[in-house]
Amino acid sequence: MKDHLSRIVDKYPANIFKNRKEHIVLVDHDSENPQTITANTRTIPGIITSRGCCYAGCKGVVIGPIKDAITITHGPIGCGYYSWATRRNKARLEEGETDNYLNYCFSTDLQEGDIVFGGEKKLKRAIKEVVEIFHPQNIMICSTCPVGLIGDDINAVAAWAEQEFHIKVLAFSCEGYKGVTQSAGHHIANNGLIKNVVGTGNTVTGKYSVNLLGEYNIGGDSWEIERVLTRIGYEVVSVMTGNGSIAKIKNAHLANLNLVQCYRSINYIAEMIQTKYGTDWLKVNFIGVQSCIESLRDMARYFDDPVLIARTEEVIAEELDEIMPVINHYQPLCVGKTAALFVGGSRALHYQYLFQDLGMETVLAGFEFAHRDDYEGSEVIPFIKEDADSKNIETLHLEPDEKHYRLVLSREKYETLKKQIPLNYFGGMIKVMKNNSVVIDDINHYEIDEFLKLLKPDIFCAGIKEKYQIHKSGVFSKQLHSYDYTGPYAGFKGAAAFARDIALGLTAPVWNMIRPPWKTEPMLEGSLIKEVI
C-alpha cells in the first residue's frame, strides 16, 4: 500500500511531491509516535483544489444560516450570487418569529467606479434601502476581496447604521484572500458572534439547557436532533447556526452545556464561551446510530440526574424500535462495501460512524479545510506552529465575565468526567480509522482520480465539484454537503434515511450497465448470462 501511495505522489513535479506527501497519512496505529499530518497550509497554486475562501467560510457557512438578519455582501456581484441559497441550510419561522431572509441575496454589486472611489457610500445607501423595504432587526455585512484592498471601513458603516436605524448591524471583514481556506472565515464569524451577539440576551434558561454548536441544519438535520433532545427533556437555547437566529444566539451564554457537532467551524465559540462564561463543551456526533446513542449518554452523564439518565435510555429504546427495522432491511445491501469520504471539516469523520452502522468500512477520508487538531486531536494544539496566514486572523483574548461566569461541575467531578467523556476535547480523525486506511488533507482533482483507481471504493462521498468526476469514473457518489436534495441524515431517523439512500444508490440498476475500467468482474456480461440461463 505504501508503494502504491508513493506511486501516486511520484508523478508530481518535485516541489509538489514534497508538499503533498506531508498531507497524506497511511494509518498505522502500531507506529511508535502518534502519526502527524500537515494541514491548514497554503494551497498549491494551479492544482485543482476543492478549497474555498474566507468569505465562503464566514458568509456561506457560519453566519449565512442565521435567518433573522439580512446579510449584505459588500463587493462585486459574483461572490454574493454564488453563495445564494446553495447550502440547503433549512430554516422556518417558529412561533413568535417574524423574520426569515434566507431565500434572499443582497449585494452592493460594486462597479469599477466604486473600486476606484470607494464603496462606503454605496454600502450606506444599500443599508438604507433594505431597511426601508424590509425593516429588519439585524443586518450583517460581509466583505469580499476588493473591499479590504480599497480601504472601505465596514465597521464604521455598521456603527453609523446602528445609530441611524436603531437596529443591530454586524460587520465581518472576511475578504476572500484571508487565511488559506474557509477556515479563516469560520474564525472571523465566531469572533463576530462572540463580540456582538452572545451575551446580549437575558432569557431565563432551565437546568438542562444546551446550545447545539456547529450544526447547520442541512436538509433538516438540526430539526431531527432537536426533536430527540427535546423528547428527552433538554432545552435547546440556540443552534449555531442552522435555523438559528440572533434572537436566540444572544442567550447562548445562559445555557449549561455546549454541544459541539462540527468542531472545525465553531470550536472558537465553544472555547470562548468557556473562557468567558465557564460553560463546558462536549464533543458530540449525531451522525450514526451508535454515535447518537453515545452522545446522548455522554450528555446525561454530564448532568448526572437519574431521571434524565432513565429518560435518555427510554427515548433511545423507543427511537431504536422505530428505525432498526428500516436499517436492518437495508443493511444487507451495504455490508462489506467500502467508502471514501472527502468533506469539509467534520463530516468526513462523522459519517464513518454511520457507515460502520451499515457494516461498511471507510478506506479513505480527508478534510478540505481542517487543521491538524481535526486529524490528530485537540492535544496537538499546543504544538501547532503559528504561521503568517493564521496570525493574520485575530484571536480574541477574553476574561471571565463578572456577572455570568459560573461552573456547572465541581472541579473533582469535572476531572473524573473528563476521563470518561469527550469534555472540552476532540479526538480527531486518525484515531478512529483502521490500519492501512488513507487520511488525506485537501485532496485534489488529480488525486481523486488516482485514489479511485487505487482503492476502488464502492462509494465516494464528497461535494458537487467532485460528484461528477466520481460518477464519470463509474462510482456512486453521495453529496455530503447538500445530501442531493434528501436528508436529514442526523439523529435516529436520519440514520434510517441514510441507510435507505445508500442501499438504493449502491444497487441502482445503472451500475450493472457500466463498468468502471478497474472493476475486474464483468458485471454486465455476468448478469446477462444469468438471465439467459
Record the cell numbers describing residue 400, joined without a space. 471571565
Report the site for another protein in 476-515 (rule: CB under 8 A): 514-515
Q: Is 51 one of the catalytic residues? A: no
Residue length of the chain: 533
* Three-state secondary structure of 209-235: EEEEEEECCECCHHHHHHHHHHHHCCE
Instruction: Please report, as a single letter, which amino acid is at residue 193.
Output: L
Distance between CA atoms of 485 and 256, rounded to whole angstroms?
34
The reply to whether 50 sits near another protein by the rule CB under 8 A is yes
**Omega cis (within 30) before 488:** yes
Nearer to ligand SF4, 60 or 192 (CB): 60
Q: How far is the CB of 130 from ligand SF4 (least distance, A)?
A: 20
Provide φ and ψ at 16, rounded to 5°: -70, -40
The reply to whether 265 sits near another protein by the rule CB under 8 A is no
Residue 178 site contact among ligand SF4, another protein, none (CB < 5 to 8 Å, cut-off depends on kind): another protein
- Choosing from 23, 186, 264, 371, the catalytic residue is 186
Residues binding ligand SF4 (CB under 6 A): 76-79, 82, 144-145, 176
Nearer to another protein, 106 or 165 (CB): 106
Exactly one of 108, 241, 291, 352 binds another protein (CB under 8 A); which one?
Answer: 108
Nearer to ligand SF4, 21 or 465 (CB): 465
The reply to whether 179 sits near another protein by the rule CB under 8 A is yes
Q: How far is the CB of 79 from ligand SF4 (least distance, A)?
A: 4
Distance between CA atoms of 293 and 418, rounded to whole angstroms?
18
Q: How far is the CB of 108 from ligand SF4 (least distance, A)?
A: 11
Tell me the sheet residues that pair with 193: none
Report the site for another protein in 218-247 (rule: CB under 8 A): none
Burial (Cβ within 10 Å: 0-12, 13-18, ≥19) of residue 97: middle
> Which x/- pattern over 290-309 shows residues binding another protein (rule: CB under 8 A)?
--------------------
**What is the edge-to-edge ordering of all strands in the sheet holding 338-343?**
24-26, 438-440, 361-367, 338-343, 459-462, 476-479
Q: How far is the CB of 179 from another protein (least distance, A)?
A: 8
Exactly one of 463, 486, 501, 505 binds another protein (CB under 8 A); which one?
Answer: 463
Q: CB neighbours of 96 closer than 8 A, spacing ≥ 6?
A: none
Q: Is 158 one of the catalytic residues? A: no
Nearer to another protein, 177 or 425 (CB): 177
Query: What are the Cα distances from residue 366, in Å, to 39, 51, 260, 491?
Result: 10, 12, 20, 23
Q: How far is the CB of 144 from ligand SF4 (least distance, A)?
A: 5
Nearer to ligand SF4, 110 or 269 (CB): 110
- Choosing from 20, 39, 54, 56, the catalytic residue is 56
Report the site for another protein in 125-154 (rule: CB under 8 A): 125-126, 128-130, 144-146, 148-150
The reply to whether 310 sits near another protein by the rule CB under 8 A is no
Hey, is 300 helix, strand or coil?
helix
514 close to 307: Cβ distance less than 8 angstroms: no
Q: Which residues are catalytic?
A: 53, 56, 87, 186
